Amino acid sequence: MRILALVPGGIGDQILFFPTLDDLKRNYPQATIDVLVEPRAKSAYRVCKSVHEVLTFDYKDRNSLADFGNLVGILRDREYNTAISVTQNANINFLLWLTGIPTRVGYQGKGSFFLTNSVPLKTEQYTAAMYHDLLQGIGIKSPTPDLTINVPKPDIDWAQNEQKRLNVHETGYILIYGGTNTTSNGSEYPQSSWQQIVQDFRQKQPEMPVVVVQEPEDNFGQGRSLGASEVKITSPSDIGKLAAMIAGANLMLCIDSPPMHLAVAVQTYTIALFGLSSPQQLLPTSDRFLAIKSPNGNLATISPAAILEKVWGA
């Protein structure tokens, strides 16, 4: 059996789709499962254990008829038995119809008449559960499994060496992911506010190191003295190494982002900041994952005191 999942969106969207892929593999252990994703999201599958091959297609690009024709040809040649589509795009559903894939599953709505099986779209729930609803279209009605990932051993080894380099392998650490200069929904949490939070940590728990995840576009914490000592900087080169560093943390503070979903997957205690997006849709219900929602959609309006209250209250 050959199954294709069409999953547009970024890395976070792919991670939230992992429970659906894992349940597919559990129900059809001999099946070959491929995904068709945007090029920017391909790296997510470094930590997914259920996918055989990752194909790329830029769903948002102005694709020509030749582009669509080439994609139809590729999918026809692979002779998939089942296709599961996360998108409600009528053109994509039409494309699936052209491939001749016998079972085509998607959400009810635009272009769903090109599908063989459609399910209601329930957007008010946790997104991983919303994606998992698609499996009802092929008769799988089990509860949504927990979000999990498979971190490659070389990435775990890298993280252990990184923790030794930072001298945090024995003490544990608090990990902060503040995003880049272009963070979730165009909003950014001010560095001055992060600085206040770090200084509070230094005063209350001076023995607990604070590690900041730094990306190429982000200079937060670089060479800056915050309270009694400088923060420590880590720069994982891929999603597997980042996940391994998150797994080793005592606490993760972050914005709504792909690293937040990784923290959920590795069960690291997490406090996440939300701007315009909905915590109910992006975090599972659990005492381990706490959300702080901006009252006006702007992350900058969340006070450091509100975050610290969650930290020390928990």
Mean pLDDT, rounded, for 127-146: 97
pLDDT at 122 over 90: yes
Cβ proximity of 107 and 29 under 8 Å: no
Q: Domain 2-138's class?
A: alpha beta
Q: What percent of the chain has pLDDT over 90?
A: 81
**114/105 Cα distance (integer angstroms):** 9
**64/14 Cα distance (integer angstroms):** 25
Report pLDDT for 182: 44
Report pLDDT for 64: 80
Q: Which SS3 state, helix, strand or coil, does residue 294 take?
A: coil
Cβ proximity of 252 and 270 under 8 Å: yes
**273/297 Cα distance (integer angstroms):** 10
Report pLDDT for 223: 46
List helix spans (H) across 28-114.
Answer: 65-78, 90-99
Q: In what order do the strands lie in the sheet with 103-107?
A: 53-56, 32-37, 2-7, 82-85, 103-107, 117-119
At residue 21 the predicted structure's pLDDT band, cuts being 50, 70 and 90, is very high
At residue 226 the predicted structure's pLDDT band, cuts being 50, 70 and 90, is very low
In tens, the pLDDT along 289-309 reads 999 999 999 999 999 999 999
As given in the structure block, the two tokens for residue 106 are 């998607």
Domain limits, the chain: 2-138, 153-313
- Count how many residues are written for the chain: 314
Sign of CA dihedral 141, 142, 146, 152: negative
In tens, the pLDDT along 248-269 reads 999 999 999 999 999 999 999 9
Mean pLDDT, rounded, for 69-76: 93
| Homologous superfamily, domain 153-313 | Glycogen Phosphorylase B; (3.40.50.2000)
Name the more confident of 63 and 132: 132
Question: Which of 260, 269, 248 is CA-nearest to residue 162?
Answer: 248
Q: Map tokens 């009694």 to a residue.
A: 228
Mean pLDDT, rounded, for 216-220: 60
| Host H or E run for residue 85 | strand 82-85
Do the domains 153-313 and 2-138 match in fold?
A: yes
**131/127 Cα distance (integer angstroms):** 6
